[in-house]
C-alpha cells in the first residue's frame, strides 16, 4: 500500500490515545413538546419563539431560514437554495425542491477552455459560477402550503437581527478573514465583510443592506426578490460582470414539490429527498445493502463494519456519478436504483475480507475532496409536524460575490454540474451526462434531509452539511441509532468515516480510530487518510417515552432548544 510506511510511523508515534471526550455526552437537549436544532444559537432562538407563539414547524423553518441568512452568512442564505422534507401531524410526507437552476444563457462547455479543459476556478469564483437562487421562492412555497403565521412575522426577526448586528464567533472570524482576498477580487466595490486588519471573535457585523432586501421581501412577497429593485440589483451585478442571471431567469424560477423517496430499514420507515438530490436514492441503496449484515454484532466502527460501509459506499457513489441528475431534464432510473434485485446484484461481489479497488467498479480518477460548506436544521412542533431542511450557497460565501446594494452573497452552485464528464467538482465528486450543464436545469446535490418513522410514529429528523460526506454521515447516524442503540447525541458525536468511490480511500476523523483498526483496514487493502471533522449534524430523536431529544454536533457551534 502506498500509504503504509507513512501511516505506520504515524500510528506508532501519535495514535495510541483515541479518547478525546467527544463521546462523554450521552443525551442532547430534551423537550416534552417541541424542539429546534440549528447551526447557530440565534437562529434556534428565532425558531423556538415561533413555536412558543403558536406557529407550526413549517413556520419555524421559514423564520430560521431567513435568520440564518443574517447570522450564518457562510452558508445560510437567500442567494442559494436547498431541499426540505416535511412530515405533517397526520403522517403525510412532502418534499420541496428549491435547488438553484442554471441560467437560460448557460451552456454545456461554459467552464472549458479552447482545448476542452476545465478552467480552474471558473465554476467556483465570480459571477459566472452563480445559479438562479431558489431559497426565497422555496420559503413562499412552504408558507403557501403549510404556513399558519403571517409571512411578514416570520421575516421580521431576521430584519431585526440584521439591523442590530451580529456578534461573530471564532469560526466566523476565521472564514471571513480567509476569504478577504477573494472578496476583493470579485467585488468591484467595497463590501461590509472587508476590513483593514483581521476580524476577531466578538466583532459585530451590521447587515443594513440585507435588512433592506429582507424588508422588500416582507412587504412585496416573492416579487420583492424576483422582481422590482432587488431583481434589478441581481441582474445588474451579474450581467455587468460576466454573470448570466437575467430578469427572465428570476421571473421564471419555481420551486417544485416532488414525490419523496421512501424505504425501510429494520422496521423503520425512511423518507428522504428525490433527485436532483442524490441523497435519498443513495441512502436507500446503502440501507438495503447494510440490512443483510449483522452490523450491531460487529460493533460501531469495528474493522468489519467500516469495511462493509466502504464497499457499499464505493458502489453507490459510482452509481451516483453515472445515473443521477435533474429528473426534469434527464431520465433518472430511480426505480432501478431502488429495486432489491438491482442492489442485490450490485452488492453481490462484496468480499468481506478484502477491498474492491474502485477502478474495478468504474473507470475514473479523482485526487481531491473538500470540506463542510452547507447548513442543516431540524424542527418538530407540539402537533407532530416535522421539517428536515438543508440549504447552501455551495462553497462558503458561495461565489464570493455580494449583490451591490442588496447585501447578500450569490451561490456558486454551477460547480455542482459536471463541467466535464469524469472531472471532479469542488467536493471531489465526479459526474456524467446525467448532470451535464443545460439551461434551466437543476444541478445534482448531495444534500440529504431525511425523516424516519417507527410504527407510524415520528422517530428521527436528520441531516447535515458536508458536501460529499453528507450522505455517509446521514447513513452512519441511522445505523448508530437503529443498530447500535445510541441516543441522538451519541449517534452524531461518535467518530465517522467516509468513502465516495473516488478518490479510493477511507477518510477517518483524526485521532478517532484506534491503531489496531487502522492497521487491519490497511491489511484488508484499503488506503486510509485522517481528516478533521466529518459532518456537522443537527438532528432530533423521539424517544420511546415520547420525549424529544435535540442534538447538535460537537464539530460545530449550533444549538438545540425545546420545551
Q: Which residue has the cell 480511500?
A: 505
Distance, CA of 496 to chain centre: 16
What is residue 409's three-state secondary structure? strand
DSSP class per residue in 186-241? H-SS--TT--SS---TT-EE--HHHHHHHHHHHHHTTHHHHSHHHHHHHHHHHHTT
Place of cell 442554471: 102
3-state SS class at 335 = helix
C-alpha cell at 403: 449583490
C-beta atoms surrounding 170 within 10 Å: 12
561 to each of 33, 37, 410, how far by Cα in Å? 11, 7, 30
Instruction: Round to whole Å and give the CA distance between 222 and 227.
Output: 8
Q: Residues 409, 398: contact at Cβ < 8 Å?
A: yes
Cα–Cα nearest to 467, from 433, 424, 434, 436: 424
Q: Which of 202, 194, 192, 193 is nearest to 171 (CA)?
A: 202
Give me the helices (H) in 291-369, please. Answer: 295-298, 303-323, 334-338, 340-346, 358-361
Which parts of 356-431 are beta strand (E)? 375-380, 386-392
Taking 3-state DSSP, the helix, strand and coil percentages for the chain, each rounded to the nearest 5, stand at 35, 15, 45
Q: What are the Cα distances from residue 518, in Å, to 181, 238, 303?
A: 39, 49, 8
For the chain, how far is it from start to end, CA to CA, in angstroms?
A: 53
**Burial of 556 per CB tally in 10 Å (0-12, 13-18, 19+):** buried
DSSP, res 525: T
Please pick, among 39, 322, 334, 374, the residue that the annotation labels catalytic: 374
Cell of 234: 441581481
Nearest to 324 by CA among 286, 274, 249: 274
- Would residue 392 show up in a list of annotated catalytic residues for this protein? no
Show which residues are catalytic: 374
Amino acid at each position: 500500500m502506498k500509504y503504509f510506511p507513512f501511516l505506520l510511523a504515524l500510528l506508532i508515534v501519535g495514535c495510541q490515545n483515541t479518547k478525546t471526550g467527544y463521546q462523554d455526552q450521552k443525551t442532547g437537549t430534551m423537550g416534552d413538546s417541541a424542539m429546534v436544532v440549528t447551526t447557530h444559537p440565534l437562529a434556534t432562538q428565532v425558531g423556538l419563539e415561533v413555536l412558543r407563539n403558536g406557529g407550526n414547524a413549517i413556520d419555524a423553518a421559514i423564520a430560521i431560514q431567513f435568520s440564518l441568512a443574517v447570522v450564518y452568512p457562510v452558508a445560510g442564505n437567500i442567494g442559494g437554495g436547498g431541499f426540505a422534507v416535511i412530515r405533517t401531524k397526520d403522517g403525510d410526507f412532502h418534499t420541496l425542491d428549491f435547488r438553484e437552476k442554471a441560467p437560460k444563457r448557460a451552456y454545456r462547455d461554459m467552464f472549458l477552455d479552447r482545448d476542452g479543459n476545465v478552467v480552474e476556478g471558473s465554476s467556483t469564483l465570480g459571477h459566472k459560477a452563480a445559479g438562479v437562487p431558489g431559497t426565497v421562492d422555496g420559503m413562499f412555497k412552504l408558507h403557501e402550503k403549510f404556513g399558519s403565521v403571517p409571512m411578514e412575522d416570520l421575516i421580521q426577526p431576521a430584519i431585526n437581527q440584521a439591523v442590530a448586528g451580529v456578534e461573530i464567533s471564532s469560526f466566523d472570524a476565521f472564514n471571513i478573514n480567509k476569504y478577504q482576498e477573494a472578496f476583493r477580487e470579485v467585488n468591484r466595490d467595497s463590501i461590509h465583510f472587508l476590513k483593514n486588519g483581521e476580524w476577531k471573535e466578538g466583532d459585530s457585523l451590521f447587515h443594513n443592506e440585507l435588512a433592506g432586501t429582507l424588508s422588500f421581501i416582507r412587504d412585496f412577497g416573492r416579487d420583492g426578490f424576483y422582481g422590482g429593485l432587488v431583481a434589478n440589483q441581481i441582474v445588474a451585478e451579474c450581467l455587468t460582470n460576466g454573470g448570466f442571471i437575467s430578469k427572465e431567469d428570476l421571473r421564471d424560477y419555481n420551486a417544485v414539490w416532488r414525490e419523496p423517496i421512501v424505504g425501510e430499514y429494520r422496521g423503520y420507515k425512511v423518507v428522504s429527498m428525490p433527485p436532483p438530490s442524490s441523497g435519498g436514492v443513495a441512502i436507500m441503496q446503502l440501507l438495503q445493502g447494510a440490512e443483510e449484515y449483522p452490523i450491531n454484532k460487529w460493533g460501531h466502527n469495528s474493522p468489519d463494519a467500516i469495511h462493509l460501509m466502504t464497499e457499499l459506499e464505493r458502489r453507490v457513489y459510482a452509481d451516483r456519478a453515472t445515473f443521477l441528475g435533474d429528473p426534469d431534464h434527464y431520465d433518472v432510473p430511480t426505480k432501478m436504483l431502488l429495486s432489491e434485485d438491482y442492489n442485490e446484484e450490485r452488492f453481490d461481489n462484496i468480499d468481506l475480507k478484502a477491498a474492491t479497488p474502485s477502478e474495478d467498479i468504474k473507470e475514473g480518477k479523482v485526487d481531491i475532496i473538500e470540506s463542510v460548506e452547507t447548513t442543516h436544521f431540524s424542527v418538530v412542533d407540539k402537533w407532530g409536524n416535522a421539517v428536515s431542511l438543508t440549504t447552501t450557497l455551495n462553497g462558503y460565501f458561495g461565489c464570493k460575490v455580494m449583490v451591490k446594494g442588496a447585501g447578500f452573497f450569490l451561490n456558486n452552485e454551477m460547480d455542482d454540474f459536471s463541467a466535464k464528464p469524469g472531472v471532479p467538482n469542488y467536493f471531489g465528486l465526479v459526474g456524467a451526462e446525467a448532470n451535464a450543464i443545460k439551461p434551466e436545469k437543476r444541478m445534482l446535490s448531495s444534500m440529504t434531509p431525511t425523516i424516519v418513522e417507527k410504527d407510524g410514529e415520528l422517530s428521527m429528523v436528520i441531516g447535515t452539511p458536508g458536501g460529499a460526506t453528507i450522505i455517509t454521515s446521514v447513513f452512519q447516524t441511522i445505523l448508530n441509532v437503529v443498530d447500535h442503540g445510541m441516543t441522538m447525541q451519541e449517534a452524531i458525536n461518535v467518530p465517522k468515516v467516509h468513502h465516495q468511490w473516488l478518490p479510493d480511500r477511507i477518510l477517518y476523523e483524526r485521532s478517532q480510530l484506534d491503531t489496531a483498526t487502522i492497521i487491519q483496514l490497511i491489511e484488508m487493502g484499503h488506503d486510509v487518510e485522517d481528516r478533521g471533522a466529518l459532518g456537522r449534524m443537527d438532528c432530533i430523536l423521539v424517544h420511546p417515552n415520547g420525549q424529544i431529544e435535540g442534538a447538535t454536533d460537537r464539530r460545530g457551534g449550533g444549538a438545540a432548544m425545546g420545551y
